[in-house]
């Protein structure tokens, strides 16, 4: 009788111990990616010039308009330092002192003396499109998600190389770890 009980107990331990603790479904995989994106956001960057900048009224009109729009929204300060009208010309030269304000801090990646690298386009998980899960084994999987473009104030400087859509697809590798469970291993 003792041997039957111990065999039964051993069989129960083997069945529960060898069970598939690495179960993963589409919803769980999407949740893993959402949590991963909170600490590792996806975005596009551009460098902009700061400090004293010269603008010509004709050729640099669009660039100056971008900075004026940011100034109106409170992201930069524009201070006119100098204005010169060329003799017998419709073109004028302006020198502005351009500085970033506190409102722009969430978008600054790197700031140097006369330049700043800024987030100009951010990506967020598209809730309308479900994640696709490709589980290749018990310990690895790939999940593909749609990330939609989210504009911010500095999007005016964005040079969009993929302007044919307002989303991107991104695939993340998932790995199963006995202690931590499923984790995002990278993309």
Q: What is the pLDDT along the chain (187 residues), one digit of tens a residue?
A: 444 443 334 333 333 334 445 678 888 888 889 899 999 999 999 999 999 999 988 889 899 999 999 999 999 999 999 888 766 667 789 999 999 999 999 999 999 989 999 999 999 988 888 888 888 778 889 999 999 999 999 999 998 776 778 888 999 999 998 888 899 987 7
pLDDT attached to residue 128? 85
C-alpha angle 35-41-43 in degrees, rounded to nearest 5: 155
CB 16 within 8 A of CB 91: no
Domain contains 146: yes
Per-residue CA distances from 164 to 103, 119, 128, 169, 170 (Å): 31, 20, 19, 13, 16
Domain contains 3: no
Per-residue CA distances from 182 to 36, 48, 139, 141, 177 (Å): 12, 40, 8, 9, 6
Per-residue CA distances from 7 to 12, 14, 19 (Å): 8, 10, 18
Domain contains 4: no
Domain contains 13: no
Whole-angstrom distance, CA of residue 96 vs CA of residue 158: 22
pLDDT attached to residue 130? 82
Whole-angstrom distance, CA of residue 60 vs CA of residue 117: 21
Domain contains 6: no
Residue with tokens 């994640």: 131
Whole-angstrom distance, CA of residue 50 vs CA of residue 161: 24
Domain contains 10: no
C-alpha angle 162-184-44 in degrees, rounded to nearest 5: 25
pLDDT attached to residue 165? 83
pLDDT attached to residue 137? 78
pLDDT attached to residue 48? 95
Contacts of residue 32, Cβ cutoff 8 Å, sequence gap at least 6 = 143, 172, 174, 182, 183, 184
Domain contains 14: no
- Count of domains observed in the chain: 1
pLDDT attached to residue 74? 96
Whole-angstrom distance, CA of residue 65 vs CA of residue 161: 22
Q: Which domain holds residue 73?
A: 22-186
Domain contains 1: no
Whole-angstrom distance, CA of residue 75 vs CA of residue 71: 6
H/E element holding 1?
none
pTM of the predicted model as reported, rounded to 2 decimal places: 0.76
């Amino acid at each position: 009788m003792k041997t039957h009980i111990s065999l039964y107990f051993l069989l129960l331990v083997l069945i529960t111990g060898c069970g598939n603790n690495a179960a993963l479904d589409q919803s769980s995989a999407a949740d893993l990616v959402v949590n991963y994106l909170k600490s590792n956001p996806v975005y596009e960057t551009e460098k902009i010039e700061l400090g004293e900048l010269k603008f010509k009224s004709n050729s640099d009109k669009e660039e100056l308009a971008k900075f004026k729009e940011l100034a109106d929204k409170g992201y930069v300060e524009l201070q006119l330092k100098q204005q010169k009208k060329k003799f017998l010309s419709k073109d004028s030269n302006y020198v502005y002192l351009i500085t970033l304000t506190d409102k722009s801090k969430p978008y600054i990646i790197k700031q140097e003396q006369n330049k700043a690298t800024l987030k100009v386009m951010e990506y967020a998980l598209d809730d309308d499109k479900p994640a696709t899960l490709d589980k290749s084994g018990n310990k690895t999987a790939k999940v593909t998600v749609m990330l939609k473009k989210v504009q911010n104030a500095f999007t005016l400087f964005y040079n969009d190389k993929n302007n044919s859509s307002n989303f991107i697809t991104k695939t993340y590798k998932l790995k199963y770890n006995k202690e931590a469970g499923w984790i995002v291993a990278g993309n």
